[in-house]
């Protein structure tokens, strides 16, 4: 029983961590709270579903389509919202308010096109294989979710630490002005950051849709609440904190459902987050790590 819940928690926590990574990356580098991240999460899921239904693509190819759609959304987000506001030296809350409006527009547009009802991936599009190891039963889709989540998290950490772009992003997170003086193309990397963060959000949307096999236009809203909680828990703008916070929330939800009841899932998970923040208000990685990418 315990081992089975650990597997379930790892697959759900990995998705939460991916979503939170995109959210915290935008905050750490652009210093913006992107409340449209949940809408991009939903766009990724719908893009993958339409790729399966309309284009008859297999699931891996549908995920690639979702990545492309999410990347385009991130590029447009920076080009038409963040960049103009930066150019006008807009107040700090302006980008956040703008992303609220964008999220509402995207949700309304998707609801107008596809309807408000739940949609599902066709059963034959999902792998049906399952593996039994003693008392543990793991489906192939759960293994794929865990593998892809870990792969993207490791790739992001490696990229931030080992590549020139990653070093430049970390420099911008510390001080955009100092980074510009060092010759870094700050504006270009702001756009790159928005694209990477949106890809993480879009892939998280596909994975949670596969995990639950349910898509609806407002599916990004509860995920946004969880993402904000996870980012605050880990320490605003801290990559390590986002990963650990996402995994923590996944484990808390799964164990709450297994041992207390599904109706108490959010109450237990967010209650634990609240208790931790009371003990450590600056988040798991403290004040010093608050602005690190």
268, with CB counted inside 10 A (0-12, 13-18, 19+), is middle
Find, among 41, 33, 35, 34, the residue nearest to 15 by Cα: 41
- Measured CA to CA, the distance from residue 196 to residue 234 in angstroms comes to 20
- Measured CA to CA, the distance from residue 94 to residue 178 in angstroms comes to 24
Torsion, Cα of 285, 291, 200, 111 (10° steps): 110
> What is the value of pTM for the model shown?
0.90
Give the angle 31-26-207 at the CA atoms, nearest 5°. Answer: 155
- Print the SS3 string covering the chain: CHHHHHHHHHHHHHHHHHHHHHHHHHHHHHCCCCCCHHHHHHHHHHHHHHHHHCCCCCHHHHHHHHHHHHHHHHHHHHHHHHHHHHHCCCCCCHHHHHHHHHHHHHHHHHHHHHCCCCECCCHHHCCCCEEEECCEEEEHHHHHHHHHHHHHHHHHHHHHHHCHHHHHHHHHHHCHHHHHHCCCCHHHHHHHHHHHHHHHHHHHHHHHHHHHCCECCCCHHHHHHHHHHHHHHHCCCCHHHHHHHHHHHHHHHHHHHHHCCHHHHHHHHHHHHHHHHHHCCCCCCCHHHCCCC
Give the model confidence (pLDDT) of 124-175 as tens digits. 888 878 888 877 888 888 888 899 989 988 999 899 889 999 999 989 988 9
134, with CB counted inside 10 A (0-12, 13-18, 19+), is exposed
In the predicted structure, residue 288 carries a pLDDT above the cut 60: no
In the predicted structure, residue 245 carries a pLDDT above the cut 90: no
| Residue 80 tokens, joined | 């038409």
In the predicted structure, residue 287 carries a pLDDT above the cut 70: no
- Measured CA to CA, the distance from residue 238 to residue 283 in angstroms comes to 10
Give the model confidence (pLDDT) of 48-100 as tens digits. 999 999 999 999 999 999 999 999 999 999 999 999 999 998 888 899 999 99
- Measured CA to CA, the distance from residue 217 to residue 268 in angstroms comes to 26
Range 32-57 average pLDDT? 95
pLDDT at residue 206 in the model: 94
């Amino acid at each position: 029983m315990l081992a089975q819940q650990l597997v379930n928690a790892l697959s759900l926590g990995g998705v939460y961590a991916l979503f939170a990574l995109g959210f915290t990356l935008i905050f750490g580098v652009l210093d913006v709270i992107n409340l449209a991240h949940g809408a991009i999460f939903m766009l990724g899921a719908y893009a993958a579903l339409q790729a399966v239904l309309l284009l008859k693509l297999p699931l891996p190819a549908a995920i690639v389509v979702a990545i492309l759609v999410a990347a385009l959304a991130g590029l447009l987000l920076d080009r038409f919202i963040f960049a103009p506001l930066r150019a006008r030296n807009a107040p700090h809350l302006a980008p956040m308010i703008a992303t609220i409006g964008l999220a509402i527009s995207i949700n309304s547009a998707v609801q107008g096109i596809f309807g408000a009802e739940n949609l599902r991936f066709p059963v034959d599009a999902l792998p049906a294989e399952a593996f039994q190891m003693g008392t543990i039963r793991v489906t192939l889709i759960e293994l794929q979710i865990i593998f892809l989540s870990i792969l993207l998290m490791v790739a992001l950490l490696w990229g931030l630490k080992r590549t020139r772009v990653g070093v430049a992003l970390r420099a911008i997170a510390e001080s955009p002005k100092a980074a510009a003086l060092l010759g870094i193309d700050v504006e270009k990397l702001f756009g790159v950051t928005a694209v990477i963060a949106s890809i993480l959000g879009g892939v998280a949307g596909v994975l949670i849709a596969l995990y639950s096999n349910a898509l609806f236009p407002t599916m990004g809203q509860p995920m946004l609440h969880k993402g904000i909680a996870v980012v605050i828990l880990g320490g605003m703008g801290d990559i390590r904190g986002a990963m650990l916070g996402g995994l923590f929330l996944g484990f808390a939800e799964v164990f709450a459902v297994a041992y207390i009841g599904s109706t108490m899932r959010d109450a237990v998970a967010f209650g634990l987050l609240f208790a931790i923040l009371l003990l450590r208000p600056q988040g798991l990685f403290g004040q010093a790590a608050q602005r690190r990418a």
